[in-house]
Amino acid sequence: MSTLVDTLALRPADVAGAQYIGLWVIAIVAVSVVRPPVFLRGLDPELIPDRTRAFAWFYQRLYAAMVLGCAAWLGVSLSDGGPSDFGFAWGRIDRALGLIAGIILVASPAFMALQGREALAKTYPEIRIRRWTGRLLSNNRTTWVAYLSAYEGLLRGVCLFGIAAWSSPLLAVLLTSALDISAHARRPPGEVAARVPLALALGVGTLWSGSVLGACVAQSLLMLTAETLGRSASAGLSPRERRS
């Protein structure tokens, strides 16, 4: 009996490993409960100006970035290591650049195939408005980068490196990839399917480079490219289709 109890007992290292996953789950739940409509309460949906609708999304992304960033900071603070132990360092810049170039190279044919497709226009850009001004475009890109950097900082930074130190790099890549895919489970099926190799590549590449920088840049470039192509494709849709 004592042997079984000893086997099932959690070691301090196990508690440390579980706390990273716990931080991720808590942060994602906190982000999911505050959606853009929260910032539009009391307004008639048919009378909301494009600028107001867009800023609701901007505020939600900034809120999400704050929550995920604070969770990442807390994860580092609760550990015995420093920021550099969790990928918050330059690492091997050459490898980070290789990761970015490799992902963009692989993704380019897919983007070319989707260019001008109505399916892409109905998914991107995420903010469904009729007219984009220069300021809205700038705010859209800035908030995307802020959100994705915080997302990657927590997932591919704190969780990936923390789990790798607790168990093994392989388990860290598999677990963080599963967390990443589950966070995108409600996206279109094709996007979820593409997320599987992307998540694995980002996990392996981040550990390989020793820095979360490559993952942040790669994710930002992919999203901004998808949004740019989506806006171009949506030019031929009616205003009602763009808003749907």
> Which pLDDT belongs to residue 81?
86
pLDDT tens digits along 57-93: 999 999 999 999 999 999 999 888 899 999 999 999 9
Both tokens assigned to 185: 């489970």
Burial of 236 (0-12, 13-18, 19+ CB in 10 A): exposed
DSSP code, position 154? I
The C-alpha atoms of residue 137 and residue 180 are separated, in whole angstroms, by 26
The C-alpha atoms of residue 16 and residue 13 are separated, in whole angstroms, by 5
Helices (H), the chain: 2-8, 12-32, 50-77, 93-114, 118-121, 134-152, 160-166, 169-183, 189-209, 213-233, 239-243
pLDDT tens digits along 202-224: 999 999 999 999 999 999 999 99
- Diameter of the chain measured on Cα atoms: 70
> Which pLDDT belongs to residue 14?
62
pLDDT in 10s for each residue of the chain, 244 residues: 445 444 444 555 567 778 899 999 999 999 999 999 999 988 887 888 999 999 999 999 999 999 999 999 999 998 888 999 999 999 999 999 999 999 999 999 988 887 767 777 788 899 988 889 999 999 999 999 999 999 999 999 999 999 999 889 999 999 999 999 999 988 888 889 999 999 999 999 999 999 999 999 999 999 999 999 888 876 544 444 445 4
DSSP code, position 184? T
Q: Is the Cβ–Cβ distance between 130 and 51 less than 8 Å?
A: no
